[in-house]
Amino acid sequence: MILDFNSAQESDEVFIELMKDALTYFIGEWIDELQDGFMYGIQDVVIFFRENFKALIQAGAGPEMGMMIGGMGTDTLMQYVTKAYTRYRQNKDRLRSASKPYVQP
């Protein structure tokens, strides 16, 4: 999608909306697929994401700042994931029909 975008014919706003749709689709499909494997569905997926995001942020920030940044960063990431999943559920049919199937070379 990024490589196919023609910036000479389309505006930055169109590109941003395309990227939002692509990321929303990815997050939504990912959550829908994951929740089937958890006992409590979406509740467990949220815990899974939160703990993994926190561990990644803490590892990247180092031992001095890891705990503080891990807490703040995790909340921020989870807000984006939650908003994207809500948008995905509201626009699921449109997003699925707009996505191109991946064809391996």
pTM of the model: 0.74
Return the SS3 of 91: coil
Percentage of the chain with pLDDT > 90?
29
Q: What is the pLDDT of residues 51-101, one digit of tens each?
A: 999 898 888 888 788 878 887 888 899 999 999 999 999 988 887 777 766
d(CA 104, CA 4): 16
Task: Find all residues with CB under 8 Å of 69, minimum gap 6, and list them.
Answer: 57, 58, 61
Do the beta carbons of residue 83 and residue 91 sit within 8 Å?
no
pLDDT tens sequence across 15-57: 888 889 889 999 999 999 999 889 888 899 999 999 999 898 8
> Hey, what are 48's tokens?
């899974």
